């Protein structure tokens, strides 16, 4: 099934490539968009520029990006990327996550608990070595095993030779394999964080929106051997920052994209998965909001769930909006048609064309299965911690008795620690809140699958959803952690011997839920293999003239500082401190538009016309959080912290009409550090590049 790259390679220059949209792309540092930059922006991208930016960038833990911004090891990322470290450093008396932090002297810098950052040192194309290690004619499973073996060997050899952390990255769905070598820093110390309210000003209402006014930054210093490091490369602070219309770059670690999804797969998201998920999320949001309004204690109990629901709901709404935009979908369709026509013209690419048909068939099966799968296996019909735990106990008993390789993936030995951490968490679970959630989702289950559906009848056991929820929640023992330990340790026999109504409910639907999952996962595997065939054919035809899907490795995006139009009105590209105070005033300083006390106290000292946030057309996605925005000179002009709602289509494709990446402006950072926080020496270090 392998489309070997060399089969189609000769065609690459004969056929016109599907043109990328202006300023589209999360480009490899090894194959940057030199021609586009030269043509559109008269900018010569040099190898020195690339090396400098690459070695100034950092990858933060498993979730974000950042960059060195001083020769004394200072690095900057987002407050929301550093938040986990801020929380771990906080104590009962000192809430750094909420109240911020400033080390006024090196001695005051606090060592983080487990923060690590990687700096990319080199990239090597190992495609030929990897492919040589995978003999032709192997089936998919054997090929994957052979590939894992050869990449592990390459990684080990590299690590042994260089002492650097080495990873073979699969690009272009297997069209290319690159070896990335990183220097890892493990001693990071907290230098500065603003108040969470300044970092996330506007909260959920302003999340994914623009204009914005967030100081979403956090500064750490890298140490080695107890001393600050002096990195060879760091980004110099721009004197003026970015201005309207200016060419800028984003260098960071976009997580994942699905830009090669086929039309049936995207239409499934647009027409089935997202609308259903949104119905469910909005239903839960209303239920939890209404319940929260009835008492402060209710509100406290529902707060985390509600925040997560609102955040996802907003993202999904944005994605649906993008997928319902004929301009966006038309471009996707045209690109697919064009590519399929190119494949059709090449007899040696028949396998890729056939892969499209396999995807369409598999997607059809998944689409028909999806609603039931969502309610029964993904648990949308049983929204409660209690049900989730009951099912975990049930399945742990069944799965752990099987050989490791035969288990559902969440019960594999490799994930045992994660499972047990979750299963034995003593996080409080409130019966009243559980009843509200479960009753609402059982009601929805009955309406969605049909009241007369045999599974629904079995689940409700002759009771109303509300009565059934109350009965299950009040009589189950799974909220008792010691009960969970007993059943987990005792295995399937202990589970079977415990007459727990919630576990019995989970058991009563388990055969059907597992069967639904099996169907969906089988189609996922068909699609994954078919996508790989198509991806490799694409790479064979186009090579590196297109960029690969994001892989949480370093990429370069470019674009311009540029406003846009929304509902017929212009949205200016740059906000300032005056706007921040105005927005707070417009809401009478009420949450989440309240300002921390020192921001109110220091207002008069600020130059309110200083830029605070700005938008660019750069192509970003989750994982880019904390990425530096740099100018032609390779200087730091800002830091990525969000995308606007229109940018939520970025998973599926790029659009530059309204989609924008949001950055904190370099000038705003300096103004706040000096005037609000009195962090003069820190600001001096950023501006001068040295302490």
| Sites of contact with a copy of itself (CB under 8 A) | 204-206, 209, 267, 270-271, 275, 278-279, 282-283, 285-286, 289-290, 293-297, 310, 313-314, 317, 320-321, 324-328, 432, 435, 443, 446-448, 450-451, 460, 462-467, 470, 474, 567-568, 586-588
Which stretch of DSSP H or E encloses residue 106? Answer: none
Q: What are phi and psi of 186, to 5 degrees?
A: -120, -5
Give the 3-state secondary structure of residue 602.
coil
Contacts of residue 680, defined as CB under 8 A and 6 or more positions apart, other chains included, come to 673, 674
Query: Shortest Cβ distance from residue 567 to a copy of itself (Å)?
Result: 5
Query: Shortest Cβ distance from residue 34 to a copy of itself (Å)?
Result: 34
With CA atoms as reference, report the closest residue to 480 among 494, 500, 466, 496.
500
Identify which of residues 402 and 582 has a Cβ nearer to a copy of itself in the complex: 582
Segments of 225-265 assigned E as strands: 227-228, 247-252
Query: Shortest Cβ distance from residue 273 to a copy of itself (Å)?
Result: 11
Distance, CA of 286 to CA of 306 (rounded, Å): 9
Query: Shortest Cβ distance from residue 188 to a copy of itself (Å)?
Result: 36
Identify which of residues 282 and 602 has a Cβ nearer to a copy of itself in the complex: 282
Task: Sort 348 into a burial class: Cβ within 10 Å, 0-12 / 13-18 / 19+.
Answer: middle
Query: Shortest Cβ distance from residue 462 to a copy of itself (Å)?
Result: 6
Query: Shortest Cβ distance from residue 147 to a copy of itself (Å)?
Result: 39
Q: Dihedral, CA atoms, 398, 399, 402, 407, nearest 10 degrees?
A: 150
Identify which of residues 270 and 527 has a Cβ nearer to a copy of itself in the complex: 270
With CA atoms as reference, report the closest residue to 67 among 688, 684, 686, 677.
686
Give the 3-state secondary structure of residue 558.
strand
With CA atoms as reference, report the closest residue to 492 among 352, 395, 624.
395
Give the 3-state secondary structure of residue 369.
helix
Identify which of residues 321 and 360 has a Cβ nearer to a copy of itself in the complex: 321
Query: Shortest Cβ distance from residue 63 to a copy of itself (Å)?
Result: 26
Identify which of residues 470 and 661 has a Cβ nearer to a copy of itself in the complex: 470
Structure tokens, 668: 């705003």
Query: Shortest Cβ distance from residue 275 to a copy of itself (Å)?
Result: 4
Identify which of residues 467 and 684 has a Cβ nearer to a copy of itself in the complex: 467
Give the 3-state secondary structure of residue 201.
coil
Q: Are the C-beta atoms of residues 247 and 634 closer than 8 Å to each other?
A: no
Identify which of residues 203 and 596 has a Cβ nearer to a copy of itself in the complex: 203
Distance, CA of 79 to CA of 626 (rounded, Å): 8
Query: Shortest Cβ distance from residue 325 to a copy of itself (Å)?
Result: 4
Identify which of residues 188 and 446 has a Cβ nearer to a copy of itself in the complex: 446
Which stretch of DSSP H or E encloses residue 598? Answer: helix 597-601
Query: Shortest Cβ distance from residue 549 to a copy of itself (Å)?
Result: 25
Identify which of residues 139 and 296 has a Cβ nearer to a copy of itself in the complex: 296
Helices (H) and strands (E) in the chain, counts: 25, 21
Would you give the distance in Å from CA 209 to the centre of its chain? Answer: 18
CA dist list (Å): 324 to 267, 268, 275, 318, 651 = 9, 12, 11, 10, 15
- Matching residue, tokens 């990429």: 555
Identify which of residues 332 and 448 has a Cβ nearer to a copy of itself in the complex: 448
Identify which of residues 61 and 285 has a Cβ nearer to a copy of itself in the complex: 285
Would you give the distance in Å from CA 678 to the centre of its chain? Answer: 34
Q: Are the C-beta atoms of residues 33 and 27 closer than 8 Å to each other?
A: yes
Query: Shortest Cβ distance from residue 133 to a copy of itself (Å)?
Result: 45
């Amino acid at each position: 099934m392998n489309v070997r790259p060399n089969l189609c390679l000769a065609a690459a220059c004969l056929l016109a490539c599907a043109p990328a949209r202006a300023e589209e792309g999360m480009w490899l540092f090894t194959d940057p968009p030199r021609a586009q930059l030269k043509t559109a922006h008269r900018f010569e991208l040099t190898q020195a520029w690339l090396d400098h930016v690459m070695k100034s960038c950092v990858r933060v833990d498993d979730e974000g990006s950042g960059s060195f911004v001083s020769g004394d090891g200072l690095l900057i990322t987002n407050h929301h990327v550093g938040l986990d470290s801020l929380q771990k450093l906080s104590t009962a008396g000192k809430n750094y996550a909420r109240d911020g932090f400033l080390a006024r002297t090196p001695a005051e810098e606090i060592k983080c608990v487990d923060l690590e950052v990687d700096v990319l040192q080199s990239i090597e194309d190992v495609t030929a070595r990897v492919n040589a290690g995978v003999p032709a004619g192997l089936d998919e499973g054997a090929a994957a095993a052979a590939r894992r073996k050869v990449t592990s060997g390459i990684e080990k050899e590299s690590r042994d030779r260089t002492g650097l952390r080495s990873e073979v990255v699969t690009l272009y769905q297997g069209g290319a394999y690159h070896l990335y070598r990183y220097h890892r820093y493990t001693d990071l110390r907290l230098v500065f964080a603003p108040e969470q309210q300044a970092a996330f000003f506007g909260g959920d209402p302003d999340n994914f929106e623009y204009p914005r006014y967030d100081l979403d930054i956090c500064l750490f210093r890298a140490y080695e051997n107890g001393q600050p490091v002096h990195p060879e490369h760091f980004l110099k602070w721009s004197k003026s920052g970015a201005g309207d219309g200016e060419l800028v770059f984003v260098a960071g670690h976009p997580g994942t994209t699905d830009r090669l999804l086929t039309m049936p797969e995207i239409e499934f998201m647009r027409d089935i998965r997202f609308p259903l998920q949104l119905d469910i999320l909005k239903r839960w949001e209303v239920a939890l909001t209404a319940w929260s309004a009835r008492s402060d204690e209710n509100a406290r109990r529902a707060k985390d769930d509600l925040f997560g629901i609102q955040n996802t709901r907003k993202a999904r709404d944005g994605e649906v909006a993008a997928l319902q935009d004929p301009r966006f979908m038309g471009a996707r369709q045209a690109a697919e048609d064009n590519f399929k026509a190119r494949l059709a013209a090449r007899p040696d690419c028949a396998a890729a064309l056939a892969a499209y048909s396999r995807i369409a068939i598999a997607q059809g099966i998944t689409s028909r299965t999806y609603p039931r799968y969502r309610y029964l296996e993904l648990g949308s019909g049983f929204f409660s911690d209690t049900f989730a735990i009951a099912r975990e106990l049930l399945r742990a008993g069944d799965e752990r008795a099987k050989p490791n390789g035969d288990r559902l993936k969440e019960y594999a030995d490799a994930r045992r620690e994660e499972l047990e951490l979750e299963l034995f968490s003593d996080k409080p679970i409130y019966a009243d809140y559980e009843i509200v959630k479960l009753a609402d989702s059982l009601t929805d289950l009955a309406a969605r699958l049909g009241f007369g559906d045999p599974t629904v009848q079995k689940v409700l056991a002759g009771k109303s959803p509300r009565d059934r929820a109350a009965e299950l929640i009040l009589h189950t023992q799974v909220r008792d952690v010691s009960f969970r330990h007993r059943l987990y340790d005792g295995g399937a026999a202990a589970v079977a011997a415990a007459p727990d109504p919630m576990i019995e409910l989970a058991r009563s639907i388990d055969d059907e839920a597992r069967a639904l999952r099996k169907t969906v996962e089988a189609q996922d595997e068909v699609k994954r293999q078919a996508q790989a065939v198509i991806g490799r054919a694409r790479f064979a035809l186009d090579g590196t003239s297109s960029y690969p899907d994001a892989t949480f490795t370093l990429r370069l995006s470019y674009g311009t500082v540029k406003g846009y139009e929304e509902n017929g009105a212009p949205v200016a590209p740059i906000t300032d401190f005056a706007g921040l105070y105005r927005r707070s005033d417009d809401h009478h300083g009420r949450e989440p538009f309240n300002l921390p006390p020192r921001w109110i106290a220091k207002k008069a000292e600020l130059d309110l016309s200083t830029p605070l946030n700005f938008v660019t057309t750069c192509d970003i996605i989750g994982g880019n959080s904390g990425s530096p925005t740099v100018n032609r000179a390779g200087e730091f002009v800002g830091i990525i912290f969000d995308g606007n709602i229109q940018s939520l289509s970025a998973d599926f494709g790029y659009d530059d009409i309204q989609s924008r990446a949001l950055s904190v402006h370099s000038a705003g950072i300096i103004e706040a550090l000096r005037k609000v926080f009195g962090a003069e020496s820190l600001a001096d270090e950023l501006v001068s590049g040295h302490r």
